[in-house]
Amino acid sequence: MNNIESIIKEAILQIKEADLKAIESIKVKYSGKSGVLTQILKSLSNCSVDDKKRIGQEANKAKNIIETEIELRKEALKKEILEEKMQKEKLDYSNKFYFPFTKGSFHPIIQTIQDISSVFKSLGFSIAQGPEIETNWYNFEALNIPQNHPARDVQDTFYLVGMKELLRTHTSPGQIHVMETQKPPIRVIVPGKVYRNEASDATHSATFHQVEGLSVDENITFVDLKAVLSDFTHEFFGTDVDIRFRPSYFQFTEPSAEVDMQCIFCKGKGCRICKNSGWIELLGCGMVHPNVLKAVNYDSEKYTGYAFGIGVERIAMFKYGIDDIRLFYENDLRFLKQF
């Protein structure tokens, strides 16, 4: 029994110092057909039954211990060899290889939406989303646009099969969705894609983007609307840009106005872009019509609000000095990579 314990200790010491070639010799030496432990088991034929059982169990146990240590050592040696090989073959890909394509970037329209949203978030507005497929109720009727209004003509609107649903023609339905699910005070913008059945040219597209703005609370006045839009314009285009409000008409606001901005191309002197007027149209706005508030069961005697709609492509064209809206959608990398 003492001899078996000595064999185990001797084998473990040899295993710890062995390489892959030597490890196989150690296995043969101790547990092979002519190995030390095998010979012990063969010599038990002259022993008593009890000795055979006791010594045989210890010899088999020793054999398992030695073989386990051998396998662990083999795995450790293989790992060391692999790591050494990887170190020798390690390449600096940053110096020897390069990726031949430039990094991707956001489309200028997405950039503009993010920039607009960032300004309004700093002014206390949250961001909401609305569906692109709407019903007549959300797109027209809830916004005080009756059935006989020209905006509902099939020539202007993409109706879906059955005429019960349509591709939204503006982001204003977002107002209704927000007010149906929230109670005042509300201060939100709704950016998104809109669709109109019209021919494409340098300033028009059948698909474009808007950012709808809405604020509803007690005692909101037109002064609040002017202050917010002035802050937005000066933050987005610079404090040296003048703006003006002109009376206008929108079915879902009363009173309504259009906001003009001093032409950033000629600084108000008059040019081809502003048609020599010194001003360019920026957005439409107004106080939320009482009928719109009633459509969502708001008390129009208690609450007032303002709304505005910003054409994203128009803003992007002003910001980046682009004179043709079609450039945004032609996927010409010579144009897009500038952004």
Query: What b/e string do you get for 261-278 counting C-beta neighbours within 10 Å, with b at 16 or more?
Result: bbbbebebeeeebbeeeb
- pLDDT mean over 235-251: 91
pLDDT in tens, 32-41: 777 787 777 7
* pLDDT for residue 134: 95
SS (H, E, C) 149-180: CHHHCCCCCCECCCCCEEECCCCCHHHHHHHH
Give the percent of the chain with pLDDT over 70: 95
Residue appearing with tokens 């020793």: 62
Closest CA to 40 of 27, 55, 61, 24: 55
Tell me how many helices (H) and strands (E) the chain has: 12, 9
Question: Measured between alpha carbons, how far is 1 from 5 in angstroms, rounded to an integer?
Answer: 7
Give the percent of the chain with pLDDT over 90: 47
Question: Measured between alpha carbons, how far is 170 from 138 in angstroms, rounded to an integer?
Answer: 11
* pLDDT for residue 36: 80
* pLDDT for residue 95: 59
In the beta sheet, which residues pair with residue 208?
194
How far is the CA of 53 from the CAs of 41, 62, 87, in angstroms?
10, 14, 51
pLDDT in tens, 126-158: 999 999 999 999 999 999 998 888 777 766 889
Question: Measured between alpha carbons, how far is 258 from 239 in angstroms, rounded to an integer?
Answer: 20
Question: Measured between alpha carbons, how far is 53 from 98 in angstroms, rounded to an integer?
Answer: 69
Do residues 108 and 336 lie in contact, with contact meaning Cβ atoms separated by under 8 Å?
yes
- pLDDT mean over 207-229: 96
- Pairing of the two strands 186-195 and 126-127: parallel
Q: Which helix (H) or strand (E) holds 310?
A: strand 304-311
For residue 104, the tally of other CB atoms under 10 A from its CB is 8
Calculate the average pLDDT of the chain.
Answer: 87
Residue appearing with tokens 């206390």: 124
Handedness of CA 74, 75, 78, 80 (dihedral sign): negative
Q: Is 23 helix (H, G, I), strand (E, B) or coil?
A: helix
Please state whether the predicted TM-score (pTM) of the whole model is above 0.75.
Answer: no
Q: Which helix (H) or strand (E) holds 38?
A: helix 36-42
Q: Is 248 helix (H, G, I), strand (E, B) or coil?
A: strand
In the beta sheet, which residues pair with residue 97?
none
For residue 137, the tally of other CB atoms under 10 A from its CB is 13
Q: Is 253 helix (H, G, I), strand (E, B) or coil?
A: strand
Do residues 36 and 62 lie in contact, with contact meaning Cβ atoms separated by under 8 Å?
no
- pLDDT mean over 183-206: 91
Closest CA to 163 of 149, 147, 177: 147
pLDDT in tens, 59-103: 788 888 888 888 888 888 888 888 888 777 766 656 555 666 767
- pLDDT mean over 185-199: 94
* pLDDT for residue 19: 83
